[in-house]
Amino acid sequence: MSELKHILLVEDDTNFGVILQEHLRLHGFNVELCTDGEAGLNAFIKSEFDLCLVDVMMPKKDGFTLANDIRQRDEDIPLIFLTARSMTEDKIKGFKVGCDDYITKPFSIEELLLRIQAVLKRAGKPESEADEPTRFTIGGFIFDTTRQVLTIKDSEQKLTPKESDLLKLLCMHENQILPRNTALRKIWGDESYFSGRSMDVFISKLRKYLKADPHVEIMGVHGKGFRLVVNK
């Protein structure tokens, strides 16, 4: 089982890229190096990889775009961004694309190895130790978080990603107050005024869906947050 892990490394700084490649090889990885996004995508299409390491700043095709392209072809492959310092904005954007981790230059090989291990481990056990439930029952509803579908009786309501994330958080806090800022941080990644308003809009949508069972209610708790309650 212990075949060499195949890593796709996309990094436009050749010097740095080669050094990194060498280090990773020494640690038992099979590393293919590409120096721009297009080459990276081509390589990705040609071979099977276990993990992608993608520099964010690149000519021709930047890291985020590449990540998007890769995700379209394989939505599960582990993906780690290499970012320059102080790119908070980019980081957030990157996370939305769906990378599994990122690491800020300069970094130590040790640190990178740790993250690679962590990410591979996570990917290796897709569901087994996912400690977050994938299915909730809310009164008469069944909510499948992976399919993002809310079912009651025989009618299905497809949820958008944000609707689904928010409902999931509410479910995980059932009967407790889900603080506004907790939800904002976990789903929107910031606590700005507009994100807050956006969240209110989503709450409003969820309430509309949940009206199908009058026992289920999302209560607003002034100045605190929201609470999902099921009245028996």
- Tell me which residues in 61-80 interact with DNA (CB under 7 A): 68
Is residue 176 within 8 Å of residue 227, measured between CB atoms? Answer: yes
Task: Name which position in 46, 85, 153, 222 contacts DNA (CB under 7 A).
Answer: 222
Determine if 231 is a binding residue for a copy of itself (CB under 8 A): yes
Cα separation, 100 vs 144, in Å, equals 22
Q: What angle do CA 101, 105, 107 make, to 5 degrees?
A: 80
Stretch that binds DNA, among 42-50, 51-59, 120-128, 218-226 (CB under 7 A): 218-226
**Sheet containing 149-152, strands listed edge to edge, beginning at the edge strand earlier in sequence:** 135-138, 141-144, 149-152, 155-158
Report the nearest approach of DNA to the CB of residue 104 (Å): 16
Would you say 9 or 79 has its CB closer to DNA? 79
Give me the helices (H) in 125-184, please: 161-172, 180-183
Selected binder of DNA within 7, 8, 66, 203 (CB under 7 A):
203
Burial of 18 (0-12, 13-18, 19+ CB in 10 A): middle
**Pick from 45, 74, 69, 47: nearest CA to 58:** 69
Q: Is 208 in the site for DNA (CB under 7 A)?
A: yes
- Contacting positions for DNA (CB under 7 A): 68, 158, 160-163, 180, 188, 194-198, 200-204, 207-208, 220, 222-226
- Contacting positions for a copy of itself (CB under 8 A): 86, 88-89, 91-92, 96, 101, 103-104, 107, 110-111, 114-115, 117-118, 121, 146-148, 160-162, 173, 175-177, 179-182, 185, 191, 217, 219, 221-225, 229, 231
